[in-house]
Structure 1
C-alpha cells in the first residue's frame, strides 16, 4: 500500500476538527477558566489550580475506576489522529517516529530536553507566582491510596502521548500538507500548546509556548515524537509524583 496525497484544504479542515475534539477544545475552556480567575477578587497567586483530582475520595476503588477511565478516554484523540494519518501513511506510528527503532538515542534526547525544559520551567513558575501572574498549582489532589503513584505516572504518560502525537506528529504532518511553512507550523503549534495551559495563569501559557517552540524545532530536526514523549513524560512525572510526595514537606509547593 503506497502513501496517497491529501488536498491542502482537506488537511487543514481535518486538523481543525481533530483539535476541536481534543486540545483545541481544551484551549477554549482554559481561556474561560483564566478569565474567571483574573476577574475574581483574589489575585492569581492566591488561587489554587488543582490537577489529578479525586472524584470519589471516600470510595477508593470507584475513584480508581474514574481515574483509569479518564486516562483511557483522553487517549481517544491519539487513536483518531493515527487512524487519519494511516490513510496516507500505512504505518502512522512509525511515520511520526513513535516506535522502538532507536531507543537509546530517543532516551538521551528526551532526558536532555526534560532537563532543559523542566529546570527553567520551575523558575518561571515561581517567578510568575511571585508576580501574581500565575495560580498556585496543586499538581496532585488524589486521595492517598496504594494506586496513587501508579495513576499519577499513567496520567503523566497520557498527557505526554496526547500532546506530542497530536501537536507534533499529527499537526506537523497535516499543516505541512496544507502548505504551511515550518516557521508557521512551529509557532502555531506552540501557541496552541500554551493556550490549553492558560487555566494555570500567564506563566503557564508562556512556559508552554516556550516548550512548544523548543520541541517543535527539535522535532523538525529529528522527525521523531518518541524523544518528545519521553521528555514530556519525565517532566510530568516529576511534577505530579514530586508534588504528591513533597507537598507536606516543602513550603513553597503549597
Structure 2
C-alpha cells in the first residue's frame, strides 16, 4: 500500500463539547440516541440471539442468513429490500446532522472526516489493501471458528435469483459500509474524543461496539470484527479520512455476498 503520509487530511481534529456548544450530558445523549436507533439496537438483538442459540443447541449447528427475502412475491421483496436500505441510512443522516451543529452544514462534515473526492487514488489503494488484508483474515477466523464449533454457518443470501438480486446485494453491502463506518468510527470517535477520551479508549470502545452487533454470527466473526475495529480506528486517527474504510468495508461485503452466489452458478 502507499505510504500513510501521502495525501490525507492529517490526524483527526475533534472539537470539545464547549466548542460544539454542548454539555457533556448532551454529548452522551447524542451517543445514546444515535446508537439506540441504529447499531446499538442491533447489538442488543445480537446478544439475545446468541443467548438463545447457546440455550437451545450449539453455534456449530446454527445457520445464519445475512440477506433474507422479505416477501414471497419477488417485486414486493425488492421494494421492501430497497425501503429497508433507505431507512437504515436515516441514522447516518442524524449522526451527520448532529456532527454539523447549528452553524455548519453536512458537506463540511463530510469534508472534515474525509468523505470526498479529493484523494481518489490514495483512498482506493488503501481501501483495496485493507480489503485484501481484512478479507483474508476474516476467512481464516471463520474457518477456525467453524472447526472449533464456536462460529455459526453463515449463508450470505437466500434471496430469489432474479435479475435484480445482484444489484440489491451490492446496495446492501454499501448500506452496511456507510452505516457502520459513519457511526462507529466517524461519529463515535468524534463524540468520545470530545469527552476527553484517549485514542486508545476510543479505539477499544469503537471496536467493542462493532464486534457486539456481530455476536449472532459466533465468536470467530466477532473476534475478526474486533480486530477490524481497532485497525480501522487507528487508520482513521492517523490519516483523518474515512473514505478508505468505506471502500474496504464495501468491498468486503460485496465480495462476501456475491462470491457464494457466483460460485454456485
Bin for the TM-score computed over the shorter chain: over 0.9
* Partners of 1:172 and 1:5 in 2: CA distance: 18
2:163 to 130, 140, 146: 146
Q: Residue 8 of structure 2 aligns with which residue? A: none
What is the CA distance between 1:14 and its match in structure 2?
1.0
Q: Residue 109 of structure 1 aligns with which residue? A: 126
Unaligned runs of 5+ in 2: 1-18
Q: Residue 164 of structure 1 aligns with which residue? A: 181
1:36 to 52, 58, 68: 52
- Alignment RMSD, CA only? 1.3
TM-score (norm 2): 0.89
The answer to whether the 8 Å contact 1:128/1:203 transfers is yes
Unaligned runs of 5+ in 1: 250-254
The answer to whether the 8 Å contact 1:6/1:177 transfers is no
The answer to whether the 8 Å contact 1:56/1:62 transfers is yes
| Partner SS, residue 156 of structure 1 | helix
* Partners of 2:48 and 2:39 in 1: CA distance: 14
What is the CA distance between 1:4 and its match in structure 2?
3.8
CA separation of 1:6 and 1:95: change in aligned 2, threshold 3 A: farther
Does residue 133 in structure 1 map to residue 150 in structure 2? yes
Runs of 4+ in 1 over 4 A off after TM superposition: none
Q: Residue 111 of structure 2 aligns with which residue? A: 94
| Partner SS, residue 49 of structure 1 | strand
What is the CA distance between 1:5 and its match in structure 2?
4.0
TM-score (norm 1): 0.93
What is the CA distance between 1:204 and its match in structure 2?
1.7
Q: Residue 87 of structure 2 aligns with which residue? A: 73
The answer to whether the 8 Å contact 1:7/1:177 transfers is no
